[in-house]
Amino acid sequence: MTQINWPEQIYAEFKELDVRQVVYVPDAGHSKLIQLCEADEEIHSVSLTTEEEGVAQLAGAWIGGQRGVLLLQSSGVGNCINMLSLQHETRIPLIMIVTMRGEWGEFNPWQVAMGKSTEQVLEASGVHVYRADSADQISQTVAAGARFAYQTGRMVAVLIAQRVIGTKNFNK
């Protein structure tokens, strides 16, 4: 069975879409994608202290003529809710790629509540939610979500299932 390298596929989609800014709070689920973006001189990669900073930065990037993407974990979605009103009211596109926690095989009980409510919270905030439950769905889901966001001025979140990224364990 061939392993799908979905971070490299997402990176290739970023290049195809002319993404110039990638903002993120460091996350193990996104680590390979972050490394690829940081190594690319055409992509400005910024490590954030909190996820809502990325919402504002990407609004500024769009106004300045650049496309960007926010990488975050489901636990960080709650930090963005108030800030999403900026994109909602201005119709500035926003694409978020969210690695899910609190799902399949989760070991950390603190991740469960937000993992359970991420999709509903995003939808209630006006975000169009796309979900990839297997590695072979990720690239096409990111491409479709990003094109929808950039072409219609909407907010989109692509949720990558925890089953795809794997689970963590305190004992390792």
Calpha distance 96→155 (Å, rounded): 8
Domain ranges for the chain: 18-164
Fold of 18-164: Rossmann fold (3.40.50)
Q: What is the DSSP string of 98-126?
A: EE--SSTT---HHHHHHHHHHHHHHHHTT
What pTM does this model have? 0.92
| pLDDT per position as a tens digit, 136-154 | 999 999 999 999 999 999 9
Tell me the β-bridge partners of 45: 22
| pLDDT per position as a tens digit, 70-127 | 999 988 999 999 999 999 899 999 999 998 875 676 666 676 667 787 899 999 999 9
User: What single DSSP character describes residue 133?
Assistant: -
Sign of CA dihedral 103, 141, 80, 39: positive
Question: In this structure, what is the dihedral angle of CA atoms 39, 43, 44, 48, given to the nearest 10 degrees?
Answer: -80
pLDDT, position 164: 80
| pLDDT per position as a tens digit, 36-55 | 999 999 999 999 999 999 99
Question: In this structure, what is the dihedral angle of CA atoms 102, 108, 113, 116, given to the nearest 10 degrees?
Answer: 10
